[in-house]
């Protein structure tokens, strides 16, 4: 096994830390640890840097692993991108076989769900994507018998509710019955509606259109059949497994990972912060933290006063120490009445200016809330403070033809071969065929293999022409040349030759949109800009708490919203500095969201609260360390230097 030396750590310090800085004793213990351990890190503690340093050190010792590799699993592609970008050039070998870097979802897809599907159905999966799955659910809803559709509408009142219900139903991995989004058996499981939904669900899966949950279901079926062989395979391939942001791992994911990796043969190190487990609130945190976890307790991000005030919101005591090198600014609670809620953001901007936080270099100001969706009721949500707010759609993959033909989507790191480009371009053509509703003779969607077989059978010369065009486009896209128009025209000709005239107007939005433009427009809309009398302009990004997880801000405003209860009012005792041992699931979820929101800022923390949420508690809040300010400040002329 690897032996990590003082020289290894010193080299990592020179690569990942500012000149002259060294790793703390806590972090050195983590870097040297070569046994299965959980690593619990407080917000802003440098967890990612510590993990990167450890990966870099191991990269220098790969030859000592007896031809085995390391497996690094995260929850988002963004996290993988960050690891790739921050590792030095010498560490690029970490991305070669037998090592594996990817999301938990992609790992389960690649090694378990997709192989099992191919074995069961003798064809390839078309997609593993919740959005594409939902599109298919909506299409197939209209193929159900009228009586079934009538029964669903009668039960769920609106078509939107029906679609949500159909989207959430899935197979229980233990007994193959259909269950709802809460994991409970369908009502009248032997009734006409349940039988119809069973057939609908089976049909979508058999056509290779999978939701993420379906992928887990297939993975578990594979494990049930071949668990010992799979454990043996992965234990031979990997010596060490690292899992980042472990607190966001779902019970299903954890079940699969625990069964895939033999803990007697594979070192597993799991990094995370259980107090920031804000995903999958209904299920609770699946991470079963082991005995004697290693901890990182020093926060580089939060000032001591912020660290002290957010401590009562921890479900698991972290022992966090604030950064005493940061300026101490009293955290504020901005109190408003319903009729002046639109003055909250200007008040936050004025507090940024009056505390001179805008003078700090590379500043970032954000206002965040738990609930961003506007359901049209009077309950407070992010749009109540900022009417222009548009909730961002998560980007899980290409949506429009320009995205499929964009190097940033296909090959963001410029290290993929031509096959990757070819597959992306073919996927765009197959997406056109899918939107047009064209199916194989068996009634299934075309895969790359079945489509090219169809072309070859129709006209071998046409097959050769397509191969030539694909190669030409691969080279052009790789050089970031635009091929959109020629691709669309050529694809239309191919589809017409194979399947006759088609209603190509159905492809209008697919041809004209681009995900980058959508995201850019959303980003520009979700900014509140304020200019004070002295001419200082403050730009405040508006986002959900989930959207800023992992970020550091110079100043953060935590917006009270309604989710079963109002955030500040329901957690008032925690704001006053009190902790209690037993908490219900909803209160735990509210605490974790508040903790994530309030642990973002380095300098100024503000909380927006309705007057009714804090009324009668003002003195105790002040004693705890909060400064209470009115949303409309007294008119006092103060000279502000910019």
Percent of the chain with pLDDT over 70: 92
Instruction: Say whether both 269 and 205 belong to one domain.
Output: no
Query: In this predicted structure, what is the pLDDT of residue 32?
Result: 95
| The predicted structure's pLDDT at residue 617 | 96
Residue 636 falls inside a structural domain: no
Beta bridge partners, 630, equal 335
Q: Is residue 292 part of a domain?
A: yes
User: What percent of the chain is predicted at pLDDT more than 90?
Assistant: 56
**pLDDT tens sequence across 554-592:** 999 999 999 999 999 999 999 999 987 777 888 988 999
CA angle, corner 419, sides to 413 and 423, nearest 5?
95
pTM of the predicted protein model = 0.74
For residues 94 and 72, membership in a common domain is answered with yes
At residue 412, the pLDDT reads 63
Look over the chain and give the mean of its residue pLDDT values, rounded to a whole number: 87
pLDDT tens-digit profile of 166-180? 999 999 888 888 888
- H-assigned helices in 479-557: 484-499, 508-512, 515-525
What does the block give as tokens for 538? 């403050």
Per-residue pLDDT band for 90 (boundaries 50, 70, 90) equals low
Q: What is the pLDDT of residue 413?
A: 56
Is the domain of 16 the same as that of 75?
yes
Bigger pLDDT: 90 vs 265: 265
Exposure pattern of 124-153 as b/e (b: 16+ CB <10 Å)? ebbbbbbebbeebbeebbeebeeebbebbe
The per-residue pLDDT for 387 is 86
pLDDT value of residue 618 = 95
Whether 123 is in a domain gets the answer no
pLDDT at residue 87, rounded to an integer: 78
CB 73 within 8 A of CB 46: no
Q: How many other C-beta atoms can be found within 10 angstroms of the C-beta atom of residue 311?
A: 19
Closest CA to 54 of 242, 246, 181: 242
Does position 188 have pLDDT exceeding 90, yes or no?
A: no
Residue 178 lies in a domain: yes
Is there a single domain that holds both residue 386 and residue 407? Answer: no
Least confident among 52-56, 57-61, 387-391, 541-545: 387-391
Task: Compute the average pLDDT of residues 44-62.
Answer: 91
Same domain, 613 and 541: yes
CATH number of the domain residue 240 falls in: 3.40.50.300
Q: Which of the four pLDDT bands, split at 50, 70 and 90, describes residue 283?
A: very low
Element (H, E) at 80: helix 77-86
pLDDT of residue 521: 45
- The residue with greater pLDDT, 415 or 208, is 208
Claim to verify: residue 384 and residue 426 sit in the same structural domain: no
User: Among 56, 51, 49, 48, which Cα is nearest to 94's?
Assistant: 56
Going by C-alpha positions, the residue among 24, 31, 16, 10 that lies closest to residue 85 is 16
Provide the 3-class DSSP secondary structure of residue 613.
helix
Nearest residue to 304 via CA among 332, 273, 329: 329
* Tens digits of residue pLDDT in 319-332: 888 888 888 899 99
Q: What pLDDT does residue 3 have?
A: 86
C-alpha–C-alpha distance, residues 167 and 175, integer Å:
20
290 in the same domain as 379: no
Q: Are residues 188 and 235 in the same domain?
A: no
Contact status, residue 403 vs residue 541, Cβ threshold 8 Å: no
On whether the CB atoms of residues 289 and 38 are closer than 8 A, the answer is yes
Pairwise CA distance, residues 486 & 472, whole Å: 11
> Tokens 């969706």 identify what position?
373
- Which residue segment(s) compose the domain that 204 sits in? 130-210
Query: Using CA atoms, how far apart are residues 624 and 578, in angstroms rounded to an integer?
Result: 9
Q: Burial letters for 321-359: b for 16+ Cβ neighbours within 10 Å, e otherwise? A: ebbeebeebebbbbbbeeeebebbbbbbbbbbbebebbe
**pLDDT band at 416, cuts 50/70/90?**
low
Domain count along the chain? 4
Q: Is 18 exposed, middle or buried (0-12, 13-18, 19+ CB in 10 A)?
A: exposed
Q: Which of 25-29, 113-117, 443-447, 566-570 is predicted with the least confidence, judged by mean pLDDT?
A: 443-447
Q: Are residues 236 and 373 in the same domain?
A: no
Rounded to an integer, what is the distance from CA 447 to the centroid of its chain? Answer: 28
The answer on 593 and 456 residing in a single domain is no
Nearest to 77 by CA among 53, 109, 45: 109
In a domain, 566, yes or no: yes
Q: Is residue 481 part of a domain?
A: yes
Whether 380 and 417 map to the same domain: the answer is no
Tell me: do 351 and 268 sit in the same domain: no
Which of 346-360, 363-377, 397-411 tops mean pLDDT? Answer: 346-360
pLDDT at site 394: 46
In the predicted structure, residue 639 carries a pLDDT above the cut 60: no
Report the Cα–Cα distance between both ends of the chain, in Å, rounded: 57
Interacting residues of 542 by C-beta distance below 8 A, sequence separation 6+: 366, 367, 368, 382, 385, 386, 389, 526, 527, 528
pLDDT for residue 480 is more than 50? yes
**E strands, 249-379, where?**
267-272, 294-296, 332-336, 365-369
Report the C-alpha gap between 518 and 525 in whole angstroms: 11
- Crossing angle of helices 484-499 and 448-458, in 10° steps, is 60
Q: Are 593 and 548 in contact (CB under 8 A)?
A: no
Q: What is the mean pLDDT of residues 412-428?
A: 77
């Amino acid at each position: 096994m690897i032996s990590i030396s003082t020289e290894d750590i010193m080299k990592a310090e020179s690569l990942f830390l500012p000149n002259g800085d060294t790793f703390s004793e806590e972090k050195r213990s983590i870097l040297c640890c070569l046994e299965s351990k959980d690593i619990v890190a407080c917000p802003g503690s440098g967890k990612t840097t510590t993990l990167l340093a450890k990966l870099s050190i191991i990269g220098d010792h790969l030859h000592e692993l007896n031809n085995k590799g390391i497996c690094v699993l995260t929850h988002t592609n963004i996290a993988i991108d960050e690891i790739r970008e921050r590792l030095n050039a010498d560490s690029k070998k970490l991305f070669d076989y037998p090592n594996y870097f990817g999301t938990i979802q992609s790992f389960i897809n690649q090694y378990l769900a997709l192989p099992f599907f191919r074995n069961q159905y003798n064809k390839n999966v078309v997609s593993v994507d919740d959005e594409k799955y939902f599109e298919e659910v909506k299409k197939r809803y209209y193929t159900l018998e009228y009586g079934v559709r009538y029964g669903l509408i009668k039960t769920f009142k609106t078509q939107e509710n029906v679609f949500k219900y159909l989207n959430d139903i899935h197979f229980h991995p233990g007994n193959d019955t259909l269950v709802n989004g809460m994991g409970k058996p369908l009502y009248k499981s032997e009734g006409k509606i349940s039988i119809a939904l069973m057939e609908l669900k089976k049909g979508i899966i058999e056509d290779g259109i999978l939701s993420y949950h379906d992928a887990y279901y297939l993975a578990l079926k594979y494990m049930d059949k071949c668990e010992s062989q799979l454990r043996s395979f992965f234990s031979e391939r990997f010596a060490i497994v690292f899992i980042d942001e472990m607190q966001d791992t779902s019970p299903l994911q954890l079940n699969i990972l625990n069964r895939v990796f033999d803990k007697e043969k594979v070192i597993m190190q799991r990094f995370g912060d259980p107090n920031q487990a804000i995903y999958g609130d209904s299920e609770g945190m699946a991470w079963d933290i082991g005995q004697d976890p290693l901890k990182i307790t020093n926060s580089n991000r939060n000032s001591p006063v912020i660290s002290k005030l957010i401590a009562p919101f921890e479900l698991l005591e972290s022992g966090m120490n604030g950064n005493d090198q940061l300026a101490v600014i009293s955290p504020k609670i901005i109190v408003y009445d319903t009729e002046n809620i639109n003055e909250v953001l200007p008040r936050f901007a004025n507090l940024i200016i009056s505390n001179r936080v805008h003078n700090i270099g590379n500043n970032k100001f954000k206002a965040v809330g738990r609930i961003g969706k506007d359901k049209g009721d009077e309950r407070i949500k992010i749009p109540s403070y900022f009417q222009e707010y548009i909730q961002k759609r998560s980007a899980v993959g290409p949506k429009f033809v320009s995205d499929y033909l964009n190097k940033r989507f296909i090959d963001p790191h410029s290290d993929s071969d031509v096959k990757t480009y070819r597959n992306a371009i073919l996927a765009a053509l197959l997406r056109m065929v899918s939107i047009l509703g064209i199916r194989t003779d068996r009634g299934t969607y075309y895969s790359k293999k079945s489509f090219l077989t169809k072309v070859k059978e129709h006209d071998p010369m046409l097959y050769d022409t397509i191969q030539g065009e694909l190669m030409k486009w691969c080279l052009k896209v790789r050089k970031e040349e635009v091929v959109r128009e020629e691709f669309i025209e050529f694809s239309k000709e191919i589809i017409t030759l194979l399947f006759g005239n088609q209603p190509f107007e159905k492809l209008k939005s697919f041809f004209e949109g681009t995900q980058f433009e959508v995201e850019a427009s959303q980003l520009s809309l979700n900014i509140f800009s304020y200019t004070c009398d002295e001419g200082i302009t403050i730009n405040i990004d508006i986002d959900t708490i989930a959207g800023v997880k992992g970020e550091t801000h110079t100043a953060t405003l935590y917006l009270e919203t309604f989710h079963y209860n109002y955030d500040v009012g329901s957690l008032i005792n925690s704001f006053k500095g009190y902790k209690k041992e037993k908490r219900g699931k909803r209160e735990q979820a509210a605490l974790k969201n508040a903790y994530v929101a309030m642990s973002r800022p380095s300098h100024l923390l503000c909380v927006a609260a309705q007057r009714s949420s804090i009324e009668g508690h003002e003195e105790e809040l002040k004693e705890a360390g909060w400064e209470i300010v009115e949303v409309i400040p007294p008119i006092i002329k103060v000279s502000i230097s910019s």
